[in-house]
Structure 1
Amino acid sequence: MGNEQIPQIAPVVPTPHRSRRQQAAPPGAVQWLVDRISAVRELLTGRPVSLYAASVLRIGYGLLYLVFLLREFRHRDEIWGPGSPWTPSLARQLFDQTGWNSILTLSDSRAYFELCYVMALVTSALFMLGWRTRVMSILFAVVVISFHARAIFMTDGGDNLLLLMAIYLVLTACGRRWSLDARRDRLKTARASNAPQQVGSYSAQQLRDARITLTTVVHNCGMFVIAAQVCFLYGTAGLYKVQGASWGSGTALHYVLNLELFQPWPALSHLVDEHTILIAIVGYMTVLLQVAFPFVLFGRLKYPVVAMLLGMHLGIAVLLGLPLFSGAMIIADAAFLPDRFYTFLPHLSRRAAQRTGMWRPAPGRAARCGSVPSQGRPGVLSSTRRATPAAVQKDTTSAAGLASDQS
């Protein structure tokens, strides 16, 4: 027994205490969560998304409201002016209950009202053209709010969505594309490329980067709110129709077409009403499209859905006499088309014009027509090299590739 060896027992190493949540979570769950947070952060702060879509919204709503004001120019006094049945005193009493306000009720003078109306026309036109867009977007929102609140019972309800979009567009960088501001920035960049690059202080560069990041975050959040608003509108409208017995039986459009309030052309309404089966099919398709719209936005199925919704709104504008509502909805649907769709349109139209012989590129113009200004941090070039025209062309070409990949 003396030769027997006593087995050595390994020392017990205390393990660190882990909570139940840490023990239950798989090793890759935390990393997956960190990756998702980083992806969301990059999406919000990396670069502004849907710049062309935001510009389409700016042009569309600015033009729509300009046409609306010009259309009602002969009836402006009866709708918004001192001679309206809904008098300024009644409007002020309503403001005390709803909290709305309007610049049109600041004075009962006819000269003041005419001045406000002219300023509304000018503001809508400049907002559509994209001149000093940041300031004009605020003024356009004030104009739409003021005219909407002044005669809230005198319009057809189509300006409700236009009012919301005018407020949301204040948050977006809707003047980066297809605007006078974008043209001015391109000319400024071209002039700066021929001059020596001045290196600013570190604090000024930090402030510039912070401003660009803040603008990017606010723009992306504004576009998300616009998309969520349209999805909520379509979803609730579709679910509300599902609960109706007339929509379930396919007879809802029959009753709508026989309402005198929505018969701009009675003969056309009666002609369409004679096709009973077609009306039932259109009614079912309307409900299906509205309910399915929020679920098809992340695939290619959204293109035929948006096309069918375009036809539906055109039918509403013609048959029911609601052009303002239909126009507002058509422009809102354009927010879901990716930027590569809008950048492809000029090439498609140019190709069609070349095939028909209606357009020929000017000498030296072909190299400039495809350049797209950068979306992230325009005007910020490397301090180690001089901004030459070839470098600017290279930067804009890479930015065009990034813009074509976003949706």
Structure 2
Amino acid sequence: MPARVAALLTLLLEQPISLYAAAVLRIGYGFLYFAFLLREFPHHDEIWGPGSPWTPALAKELFDQTGWASILTLSDSRVYFEVCYAAAIIISALFMLGWRTRAVSVLFAVVVTSFHARTIFMTDGGDNLILLMALYLVVTACGRRWSLDARRARLRESAGRTVLLPLHRTSGELRRHLRDARLTVITVLHNCGMLVIAAQVCFLYGSAGLYKVQGASWGNGTALHYALNLDLFQPWPALSAMADEHDVLIAITCYLTVLLQVAFPFVLFGRLKYPVLTTLLGMHVGIAVFLGLPLFSGAMIVADAVFLPDRFYRYLGQLSRRVVPWADVRGAQTPTPAEAALVPPQSGHTG
């Protein structure tokens, strides 16, 4: 047990984990919300604005009971709403690009929370997951890879702009200790945030699978048949009807879905997770196509990316540079001396 505790403390304190996965989460959810806001722009006033049937007064009355809050209800002015909507689109784009990520991640969380709370009765599972991930990403170092911040840091390092100021011995020691403490806090928050994200996805899949086990339609393999025949979830009725003709395939898909969701938390520590993640990717693509839930499917696909190792994303970066030589997507892929050991040794010189 002492060895395991020491290993856990080393994991949490010494260096940040899954920096590339955090970057993928930032890019994925930033892009999804950016595309979502653009897609709903023709109807944004009826959904979130003063013209919505769920008026700001009704939303405030609900907030008094639930404790939610939204910047969209601070004013009934249409000009104020349009400014908020434009700002939300810009913030989502900046978060996706990784510009001043520390501050923009907080603004992105405020945007997602505000829009979610404003029309809480018009949301689905995808909105709920994006809301949770936006809150979790605030404490992570999701801008250290594949971002404008990472590119700026790399250019600064290559240009040799580090300025060393002469300090007295006492003030130099104090500043070094303060810097070490700051980096330790950043590392711990990032690692805890990534672990919470992974745990959230495990709970999501596990609870979804256990709820399905309790349903008779999933037990007899007919749940997808009913889903494919709901008018609300038929973006292409002809395609749904064609899929509904294969009874055996639908039953197998039902059983496989339940099995994968229940087993998901237990296969993460071996190579079996790769075929499971691949199968789940196909399942979410099917949900997007057959049931017309692209936002939900996209949110789940991005969440699954947290379980892929950094070496996989580094390989993707190398592959992309080979395919598109002019694309500079390195984003400080080679760690700078300061990032090679994010938390410097707590005793001796930091180099």
* CA displacement, residues 57-86 of structure 1 (integer Å, 9 cap, x when unaligned): 000000000000000000000000000000
* CA displacement, residues 287-332 of structure 1 (integer Å, 9 cap, x when unaligned): 1110111011111111111111000000001111111111100000
Asked if 1 retains the 8 angstrom alpha-carbon contact of 2:16 and 2:187, the reply is: yes
TM-score (norm 2): 0.92
Asked if 2 retains the 8 angstrom alpha-carbon contact of 1:199 and 1:383, the reply is: no
**Rounded Cα–Cα distance in structure 2 between residues aligned with 1:274 and 1:142:** 45
1:167 aligns with 2:130: no
- Letter of the structure 2 residue corresponding to residue 319 of structure 1: F
Residue equivalent to 1:209: 180
Residue 267 of structure 1 deviates from its aligned partner by: 0.7
Residue equivalent to 2:29: 61
Residue equivalent to 1:125: 93
Q: Where does structure 1 differ by over 4 angstroms across 4 or more consecutive aligned residues?
A: 195-200, 358-361, 382-385
Residue 346 of structure 1, aligned match among 301, 317, 326: 317
Residue equivalent to 2:257: 286
Q: Indicate the structure with greater helix content.
A: 2
Residue equivalent to 1:371: 334
- Letter of the structure 2 residue corresponding to residue 49 of structure 1: I
Residue 248 of structure 1 deviates from its aligned partner by: 1.1
Asked if 2 retains the 8 angstrom alpha-carbon contact of 1:231 and 1:294, the reply is: yes
Asked if 2 retains the 8 angstrom alpha-carbon contact of 1:197 and 1:383, the reply is: no
Residue 35 of structure 1 deviates from its aligned partner by: 1.6
**Rounded Cα–Cα distance in structure 2 between residues aligned with 1:164 and 1:214:** 22
- Letter of the structure 1 residue corresponding to residue 28 of structure 2: G
- Letter of the structure 1 residue corresponding to residue 258 of structure 2: V
1:235 aligns with 2:206: yes
* CA displacement, residues 169-218 of structure 1 (integer Å, 9 cap, x when unaligned): 0010000000111111112222337x775565010000000000010000
Asked if 1 retains the 8 angstrom alpha-carbon contact of 2:14 and 2:343, the reply is: no
Aligned length, in residue pairs: 341
Residue 36 of structure 1 deviates from its aligned partner by: 1.7
Q: Structure 2: state its 5+ residue gaps.
A: none
Residues 384, 177 of structure 1: alpha-carbon distance in 2 compared, 3 angstrom cutoff: closer
TM-score (norm 1): 0.80
Residue 144 of structure 2, aligned match among 172, 176, 180: 176
Residues 323, 41 of structure 1: alpha-carbon distance in 2 compared, 3 angstrom cutoff: same
Asked if 1 retains the 8 angstrom alpha-carbon contact of 2:71 and 2:114, the reply is: yes
Question: What is the percentage of aligned positions where both structures have the same residue?
Answer: 69
Residue equivalent to 1:223: 194
- Letter of the structure 1 residue corresponding to residue 141 of structure 2: A
Residues 98, 38 of structure 1: alpha-carbon distance in 2 compared, 3 angstrom cutoff: same
Residue 319 of structure 1, aligned match among 286, 290, 301: 290
Residues 86, 157 of structure 1: alpha-carbon distance in 2 compared, 3 angstrom cutoff: farther
Residue 38 of structure 1 deviates from its aligned partner by: 1.2
Q: Structure 1: state its 5+ residue gaps.
A: 1-32, 386-407
Residue equivalent to 1:16: none
Residues 230, 199 of structure 1: alpha-carbon distance in 2 compared, 3 angstrom cutoff: farther
* CA displacement, residues 126-153 of structure 1 (integer Å, 9 cap, x when unaligned): 1111011000000000000000000111
* CA displacement, residues 346-394 of structure 1 (integer Å, 9 cap, x when unaligned): 223445x3xxxx7599xxx9xx9973443533899x9697xxxxxxxxx
Residue equivalent to 1:91: 59
Residue 301 of structure 1, aligned match among 248, 260, 272: 272
Asked if 1 retains the 8 angstrom alpha-carbon contact of 2:209 and 2:261, the reply is: yes
- Letter of the structure 2 residue corresponding to residue 36 of structure 1: R
**Rounded Cα–Cα distance in structure 2 between residues aligned with 1:212 and 1:315:** 43
Residue equivalent to 1:187: 155
Secondary structure of the residue aligned to 1:158 is helix
Residue equivalent to 2:78: 110
Asked if 2 retains the 8 angstrom alpha-carbon contact of 1:48 and 1:376, the reply is: no
Residue 110 of structure 2, aligned match among 118, 131, 142: 142
**Rounded Cα–Cα distance in structure 2 between residues aligned with 1:335 and 1:276:** 34
Residue 157 of structure 1 deviates from its aligned partner by: 3.6
